[in-house]
Chains A and B, each alone.
Chain A
Amino acid sequence: MVGGILNYLWVVPALPLLGVIVNSAIALLSERPVLLRENAHGEGGHGGVDAQGHHASPPYRKLVAFIGPAVVGASFVVSILAVLALAARPAHDRLFVQVLFPWVQAGTFQAKAAFQLDPLSAVMILVVTGVGFLIHVYSVGYMSHEKAFARYFVYLNLFTFAMLLLVLGSNFLVMFVGWEGVGLCSYLLIGYWYEKKSAADAGKKAFVVNRVGDFGFLVAIFLIFWTFGSVDYTEVFARIPVLSESGVLTTGIATAITLLLFVGATGKSAQIPLYVWLPDAMEGPTPVSALIHAATMVTAGVYMVARTSALYLLAPTSMAVVAVVGAATAIFSATIGITQNDIKRVLAYSTVSQLGYMFLACGVGAFTAGIFHLMTHAFFKALLFLGSGSVIHALSGEQDMRKMGALRKRLPVTFTTMFVATLAISGIPGLSGFFSKDEILWKSFSSGQGHVGLWLVGTVAAGITAFYMFRLVFLTFYGDSRMDPDVEKHVHESPYSMTVPLMLLAVLSVAGGWIGIPEALGGHNYFEAWLAPVFGSGTEGAAHGGGHHSLTLEYLLMAGSVGVALCGIGLAWYLYRSRPSMPKEIAGRVPGLYDVVLNKYYVDEIYDAAIVRRIVSGSLWLWEAFDATFIDGIVNGVGALVQGAGERARRLQTGVVGNYALSLLLGAVILVGFLIWP
C-alpha cells in the first residue's frame, strides 16, 4: 500500500461524473417529457414565484436534489482524506501521480490520462469540491422554483467534473480538456434561461471570447511540446535546467510560451482585454455566478499561471506583463464597479478586479500569495454572490439596487453573512481577505519583480473595493425601502438550504485566512510552507525580496492599506448613508466622466465597432460574395457542365433500331479493321 487512500484519487472527479450520468438520465427520462407536455399545453413560461409558491414536487426532483449535492459532498470527503494522506508525507515527497491509462500516442507524442496531487492541486480540489458542495446545496433551495431542475444539476455536476480534471490533470492536455469542459459548462449555465435572448447572447459571448484565449493556450501547449518533447508537468519542469543550459530553451521561447499561456489565462480569468464576457455572464442563475464566475472557473487562469511558475520565472518580460495587466485590471474594473446599479454586476466587476490582484501577485513572483487570495476570494466572493442571490430570491428576481434598501431587518442571516464577506473583501484586519490581499500588496512592493507603482495601484484599488462594496451593502440593506410594494409583500428570508451554506461560507471568510498569517504578525504562514515544494526555491527568493526590507516598512504598508480601506468605507458611509443625495450631485457635476464609467468605458462598444462588426461584415462578405459566388460557382459549374454534356449525349439515343444497327455495324467494321491491320 504505497498510496493508500491516494490510490482512490480518481474517485474525486469520478463522483461528479456519476452525478452527471444519473442526473442526465433523470433529466431525459423524467423531466423532459414533463416539460414538453407542459409546453404543448401552453402553460409554460417561467416557473415563477407566484401565489401558489412551490408547485407539487415530483419525486424525481427530490432524487436530483439529493444526488446533485451528494456526489460533490462525497467527492469533498475523498479530497480531504487524500490531502491528509498527502500531508502525512514529508514535504519533499508531496507529489502523487496516478496514471489511469495511456491516452494519446502518436509518434513521439505521448499523453496519459493521469491525475496529479501535489500541494497546489490539493488546495484547488478542496476549494472546488468544498465551495462547490456548499453552492450545490444552496442551489437546491435557489432553483426550487425552476422547472428544468435536473438539467441544471447535470450542468453543475459536469462543471465540477471538468474543473476537477483541470486542476488534477498531470499534463497540459488533461488540463486543456478540463479547461474546455468548464468553458462549455459556463456557456450552458449562462444560457440556462435560453428563452431569454440576453442570456443566450451572454452565453455565446462568453464562449466566443474564451475561444480567443483558448487559442493562445493551445498554441502554448504546442510550443511546450515542441520545446520540451513532452506535455507532462513533471517532465517539462524537470527538463528546464538541462534545456536552458544547452541553449534550446532561450528566454525568447520561454517568453513566447508564457505570454501565450497568459493569453489563455486572460480569457478564462477575465483580464484585460478579454474580461468583457464576465459581467454579461451574470445572466445565468446566481449560484452559477458564485460557483463558476467567482469561486472556481475564473480562477483557472491563476492556477495555470501558478502551475507553470517555473516557466514564468525564466521570462521576466512575461512576469512584468502579467503584473501590469493584473494591476490594470484590478483598478480598471474596480472603478466600473462604483457606478453599476445591478447588484450582481457590481460583484462581477469586483471579481474581475480581485482576479487582477491574483495575477498581480503571480506577476511579481508571489505565486503563493496569488493562490492564497484565490482561496480566500473563493470563500468571500462565493458568499457575496450567494448572499446577493438570497436577496434576489427574496425580492422575486429584482436585481437593481436602486429598488432595494432597508433589508437589514428583513433578511437578518443574509445581511450578517454578506456583511462579514464585505468586511473580508475590504481587507479589514483579522478576516481572510486582509491577509491575502495584504500579502499581495506587500509582495508587489517588496519582491524583486515588484514596483512601487504596482503597489500604489493595488492599494488604490483596495480602497475603491472597500468603497463599492460598502456602497452595495448600504444601498441594499440600509436606508429607506425603495422596493415595489408588490415585491415588498413577498420578502422572506431564504430557506435553510440557502442560509446554512451562507453561514458556513461566512465562517470560512473569517477564518480562511488564518492559515496564512504572515510572520510579521506573529503567524507561521502555514499556507506558504505548504505550497513551498511546488513553487520551489526560485520563488522563495523572489518573494522574500532578499529580505532587505524591514519589518517596520511592512507594518507601515499594512497600516497604509488598512487606512485606505477605511477611507473607502468612510466615503461610502458619507455618500450613501449620511448624504444620500450626494452621489447624484457628484454624478451631475461630472456628467461626461460619470457616463463613461457607467457605460463601462464603452469597451463593449469599442470592441463591437473595432472587432465584432469587422468580423461580422467580413463573414457576411465571405458568405454572400465569396461563398455564394465563388465556392457555389465551382460546385454549381461542375454540375452544370455534366448536366449540359448529358443533355447533348442523350440525343444519341434515338430509339430507332436502325440507328443502333448502323452503329453496331460501324463498331464491328472498326474492330475488324483494327484486327486485320498489318
Chain B
Amino acid sequence: MMEPSAYLLLSGILFGIGVAGVVARKNALIILMSVEIMLNAVNVAFIAIGSYLGDVTGSVFAFMVMTVAAAEAAVGLAILIAIYRLKETIDITELSVLKW
C-alpha cells in the first residue's frame, strides 16, 4: 500500500494554484477554470485517501464532485456568455454593478 502523502501534496499544490487563480485573475473564464482546478484538487485527495483506506466511498465522491463540476461549468459558462453579450467584457473588475 502506497503512502498518500505525495498525492496529498499534489492535491494541495493544485488547490493552491486554483485559489491563486480565483483571487488574482481578472478574467472570469480563467477564474472559472481555477475553480475547476480546485475541485479537481479535492478529487485527487478523495481518491488518494479512499484508495489508502481501501474504501470506495472516496472514488464515489470524486464522481459526484465531477458531476457537480460539470454542471457548474455549464451554468458558469452560460452566465459568462450572457454577460459577454451584454457588456462585451468578462473582466470582473468591470462587472461591479452589484454594490451600494
Contacts and interface: CB of A to CB of B under 8 A. Distances in A.
B19 A655 contact: no
A662 B96 contact: no
Given A650-B100, A651-B100, A657 B23 contact: no
A656 B93 contact: yes
A187 to B, nearest CB: 55
Interface in A513-569: none
A653 B98 CA distance: 8
A668 B1 CA distance: 33
Contact of B96 (A650, A656, A661, A665): A656
A288 B29 CA distance: 90
B85 interface: no
B93 A658 contact: yes
B99 A653 contact: yes
Among A650, A654, A655: residue with most chain B CB under 10 A: A655
Given A656-B92, A656-B93, A661 B23 contact: yes
A666 to B, nearest CB: 10
A657 B22 CA distance: 10
Contacts of B19: 665
Contacts of B31: 657, 661
Given A662-B23, A665-B19, A665-B23, A657 B100 contact: no
Interface in B66-100: 92-93, 95-100
Interface in B42-84: none
Contacts of A665: 19, 22-23
A655 B99 contact: yes
A650 B96 CA distance: 14
A655 B23 contact: no
Given A665-B19, A665-B23, A658 B92 contact: yes
A293 to B, nearest CB: 67
A545 to B, nearest CB: 91
Contacts of B22: 661, 665
A657 B29 CA distance: 13
Q: From DSSP, what is the main secondary structure of chain B's interface residues?
A: loop
B99 A657 contact: no
Nearest to B35: A661
Nearest to B24: A658
Interface string A642-678: 0000000011011111100110010000000000000
Contacts of B98: 655
Contacts of B95: 655, 657
A29 to B, nearest CB: 56
B99 A658 contact: no
Contact of A654 (B23, B26, B28, B96): B96
Contacts of B93: 656, 658
Nearest to A668: B19
* Chain A, interface residues (CB within 8 Å), range: 10 to 19
Nearest to B97: A655
* Chain B, interface residues (CB within 8 Å), range: 10 to 19
Interface in A96-152: none
A661 B20 CA distance: 10
A656 B24 CA distance: 12
A332 B92 CA distance: 93
Nearest to B22: A661
Contacts of B99: 653-655
A670 to B, nearest CB: 15
A662 B31 CA distance: 13
Interface string A275-290: 0000000000000000
Contact of B100 (A653, A656, A661): A653
Nearest to A650: B100
Nearest to A647: B100
Nearest to A652: B100
Contacts of B92: 656-658
A541 B23 CA distance: 105
Contacts of A655: 95-99
A18 to B, nearest CB: 65
B52 to A, nearest CB: 20
A459 B96 CA distance: 97
B86 to A, nearest CB: 16
Contacts of A661: 22-23, 31
Contacts of B96: 654-657
B38 to A, nearest CB: 11
Contacts of A654: 96, 99
Nearest to A662: B23
A55 to B, nearest CB: 68
A653 B31 CA distance: 20
Contacts of A662: 23
A503 B90 CA distance: 103
A191 B20 CA distance: 82
Contacts of A650: 100
Interface in A389-421: none
Among A651, A656, A665: residue with most chain B CB under 10 A: A656
A659 to B, nearest CB: 9
Contacts of A658: 23, 26, 92-93
Contacts of A656: 92-93, 96
A87 B48 CA distance: 110
B16 to A, nearest CB: 11
A365 to B, nearest CB: 82
A658 B34 CA distance: 13
Nearest to B100: A650
Nearest to A654: B99
Nearest to A646: B100
Interface string A81-97: 00000000000000000
A665 B23 CA distance: 9
A656 B23 CA distance: 11
A656 B97 CA distance: 8
Interface in A577-624: none
Nearest to B25: A658
Interface in A423-472: none
A662 B23 CA distance: 6
Among A651, A654, A661, A665: residue with most chain B CB under 10 A: A661
A257 to B, nearest CB: 67
A673 to B, nearest CB: 15
B23 to A, nearest CB: 5
Among A657, A662, A665: residue with most chain B CB under 10 A: A657
Among B26, B31, B96: residue with most chain A CB under 10 A: B96
B77 to A, nearest CB: 16
Nearest to B98: A655
A536 to B, nearest CB: 82
12 contacts: A650-B100, A653-B99, A654-B99, A655-B96, A655-B98, A656-B96, A657-B28, A657-B95, A658-B26, A658-B92, A661-B23, A665-B19
List the 7 closest A-B pairs by CB distance, nearest first. A655-B99, A655-B96, A650-B100, A657-B92, A656-B96, A655-B98, A661-B22
Given A653-B99, A654-B96, 7 more contacts: A655-B96, A655-B98, A657-B92, A657-B95, A658-B26, A658-B92, A661-B31
